[in-house]
Amino acid sequence: MLKDITLGQYFPGNSFLHRQDPRMKIIASILYIVAVFLCKNLFSFLFITLFTVALVLLSRIPMKVILKGVKPLLFILIFTTVYNVFFYQGEHLLADLKIVKIYFEGVMFALLMAVRIVCLLVGSSVILTYTTSPIMLTDGLERLLSPLRKIHVPVHEFAMMMTIALRFIPTLIEETDKIMNAQKARGSDLSSGGLIRRAKALIPILIPLFVSAFRRANDLAVAMECRCYRGGNGRTRMTQLRLHAIDWTMLFTVLLCGGAVVIINLYSPGFSV
Amino acid sequence: MAQPLISVRDLTFSYAGEDRQEGVEGDAPAVLKGISLDVEKGSFVCILGRNGSGKSTLAKLLNMILTPTSGKIFIKGKDVTDPAMTEDDMFEVRRSIGMVFQNPDNQLVATIVEEDVAFGPENLGVPPEEIRKRVDGALAAVGMTEYARHSPHQLSGGQKQRVAIAGIIAMLPDCIIFDESTAMLDPQGRREVMNTIQALNREKGITVLHITHNMDEATLADRVLVIDGGELVLDGTPRQVFSSVRRLRTVGLDVPQVTELFSLLREEGFDLPGDVLSEEEGADLLSRYLKENEKSQ
């Protein structure tokens, strides 16, 4: 059962978005988020929605996966929408329910906020998390942040920690499974009783897991020393990330999108947030 | 005679002051008590000894993970216990004396096989194109080329261990120490790894120091060292070492079953050699012996 846990949200594929340089994707996703926040009125929101849909189509990730990703947000989405509909004070009264008044602006605002949240989530995950493997992501982050080394930010060390964590997650999951089975075989009851009882039942699983994780960490440290590991200084990399012309298209497209949003905001009429 | 690759003189070591390590039992402070030995370039040496005999400690001393309490270690003629050793010298020693450990899971760093093999050369600051070549070469040498893009947790124990070996080969070492690298594997994985080790020794001329509990693996070596209680008790070819069945027993080791059978027969007064190692050899000798006896009767 524990094996079903997937690492991150990466959805393997070979689309245009998958092949983009991770550094560009990180920057592009930040720009995209800025663009979403820049949206002010119905038309710019319409535009950003179309742009997001285009990204989803480009990534060739099935709709099912995307919708599954939005599902955890459903509660927040409904909550903010209801809240905005009932408590936003505007000029055009739509309905008076005695306790609360519903305004046209409130409905619009609620709608646009919902679109903004969904766009934020879907767009950034399509640009970044769905289409970039965790390794590429770490690699991209390390290289993108490497100028920070000059001010003594341990960029390489963070990236190494991420890599090792990613490497050992499946190993530790397997181990947890084994320990759980071993404790079950000894008669420990993991799935009944109240919250406190269940939490207590986890102790005999967590303690061996921690002990073994520390042992592994010690072994790994010695093995890394044997392989001449000495931090990021003087280290080279086998895979070099090179920026090709095509890697810039992504960035420019998102930049253009942001520009378009600003222009639409300025020149289109109607309700604005 | 050419200079030995590894030369150890009166080496002693105790964990006093050091962090106590696993696998070291008892309170005896001295783990190694004055060991001296030479390892020739290109040889295949097996180190035998029961748990806590100090064999893993010896291995960690050789590539400078631990520092000896007293005594000297020379690697390629260079005194590595010299206080004037710089950090770069130390990394050069670790590069030339590679080490493969027991648990295959705990020595792979990266999430992709080829990235892991590249880890060593990357640390050494090798240029990227050269790393690529070395990684491809190392994976080919252990027969794992087709798994280059796999994730380590998709591999079997033997395969993981071969990836770990490839990671060491990519650093172009002179010698590889295998610290019970076959102990956690199933027979299939053990065979894979032993075949790889033998091929590296024969074809690439890499010196092999193989620490093991498995007597059958020790018969494949050119030379067997037996360590007990921190001292070198036996040193010779597998034949010489295994013929001292009684001596091996006292240090808590078994001998291969055939060797044991022949030594029992000798004790019963049969005129048979005491240094038989393989089952085929033993069967041949027995059938010949029986035929000769028939004739003489």
Across the interface, do A235 and B105 touch by the CB < 8 Å criterion? Answer: no
Q: How far is B270 from chain A (nearest CA, A)?
A: 50
Name every residue in A having a CB less than 8 A away from some CB of B. 134-135, 163-164, 166-167, 170-171, 174, 215-216, 219-220, 222-230, 234-240
% of chain A with per-residue pLDDT over 90:
35
Mean pLDDT value across residues B209-229: 89
Report DSSP state, residue A193: S
In a domain, A197, yes or no: yes
Q: How far is A142 from chain B (nearest CA, A)?
A: 15
Cα B71 from Cα B55, distance rounded (Å): 16
- Higher per-residue confidence, B251 vs B209: B209
pLDDT higher than 60, residue B280: yes
In this structure, the answer to whether residues A77 and A132 fall within a common structural domain is yes
Read off the pLDDT band of B296 (50, 70, 90). confident
CB B160 within 8 A of CB B196: no
Q: Kindly report the backbone phi and psi dihedral angles of residue A5, in degrees, each rounded to the nearest multiple of 5, phi listed first.
A: -65, 125
What would the two tokens of residue A118 be?
Answer: 């969904």
Q: Which residues of A touch B123 (CB under 8 A)?
A: 227-230, 235
Q: Secondary structure of chain B: what % helix, strand, coil (to 5)?
A: 45, 20, 35
In a domain, A272, yes or no: no
Best mutation target among B87, B123, B181 (most A Cβ atoms within 10 Å) is B123
- Residue A87 identity: F
Residue A65 confidence (pLDDT):
85
Residue A26 confidence (pLDDT):
92
In this structure, the answer to whether residues A96 and A137 fall within a common structural domain is yes
- Top-confidence range, A68-77, A203-212, B281-290: A203-212
Cα B16 from Cα B75, distance rounded (Å): 25
Number of domains in chain A: 2
Residue A193 confidence (pLDDT):
78
DSSP three-state, residue B190: helix
Which class for A270: exposed (0-12), middle (13-18), buried (19 or more C-beta within 10 A)?
exposed
B99, B108, B122 member nearest A238 (Cβ):
B122
In a domain, A169, yes or no: yes
Tell me which residue of A172, A169, A165 sits closest to A205, measured CA to CA.
A172
Average pLDDT along chain B: 87
Residue B202 confidence (pLDDT):
93
- Residue B164 identity: A
CB B200 within 8 A of CB B141: yes
Mean pLDDT value across residues B74-97: 88
Residue B27 confidence (pLDDT):
52
First vs last Cα of chain B: how many Å apart?
51
pLDDT per residue as tens digits for the range A185-240: 988 877 777 888 888 888 889 999 999 999 999 999 999 999 999 888 888 888 88
CB pairs under 8 A between A and B: 97
* pTM for this predicted structure: 0.79
Residue A48 confidence (pLDDT):
94
Residue A220 confidence (pLDDT):
94
CB A71 within 8 A of CB A237: no
Q: Listing from the earlier edge strand, what are the strands of the sheet with B70-75?
A: B30-39, B6-14, B70-75, B78-79
The pairing of strands B175-179 and B97-100 is: parallel
In this structure, the answer to whether residues A117 and A165 fall within a common structural domain is no
In a domain, A232, yes or no: no
Q: Which residues of A touch B138 (CB under 8 A)?
A: none
In this structure, the answer to whether residues A137 and A77 fall within a common structural domain is yes
- What domains lie within chain B, and their CATH numbers? 6-255 (3.40.50.300)
pLDDT higher than 80, residue B18: no
Across the interface, do A237 and B128 touch by the CB < 8 Å criterion? Answer: yes
In this structure, the answer to whether residues A106 and A179 fall within a common structural domain is no
Cα B249 from Cα B272, distance rounded (Å): 20
Read off the pLDDT band of A102 (50, 70, 90). confident
pLDDT per residue as tens digits for the range B139-185: 999 999 999 988 888 899 999 999 999 999 999 999 999 999 998 89
pLDDT higher than 90, residue A267: no
DSSP three-state, residue B90: helix
Average pLDDT along chain A: 87
Residue linked to tokens 């600051």: B125
In this structure, the answer to whether residues A102 and A33 fall within a common structural domain is yes
Residue A4 confidence (pLDDT):
45
In this structure, the answer to whether residues A48 and A115 fall within a common structural domain is yes
In this structure, the answer to whether residues A255 and A126 fall within a common structural domain is yes
Measured in whole angstroms, the distance separating CA B224 from the mean position of its chain's CA atoms is: 10
Residue B29 confidence (pLDDT):
67
In a domain, A238, yes or no: no
Q: Which residues of A touch B135 (CB under 8 A)?
A: 238
Which class for B150: exposed (0-12), middle (13-18), buried (19 or more C-beta within 10 A)?
middle
Q: Kindly report the backbone phi and psi dihedral angles of residue B155, in degrees, each rounded to the nearest multiple of 5, phi listed first.
A: -100, 160
Q: How far is A139 from chain B (nearest CA, A)?
A: 12
Mean pLDDT value across residues A62-69: 87
Which residues span the domain enclosing A219? 151-226
In this structure, the answer to whether residues A138 and A158 fall within a common structural domain is no
Report DSSP state, residue B234: E
pLDDT higher than 50, residue B82: yes
pLDDT per residue as tens digits for the range A15-55: 888 888 899 999 999 999 999 999 988 889 999 999 999 99
pLDDT higher than 60, residue B28: no
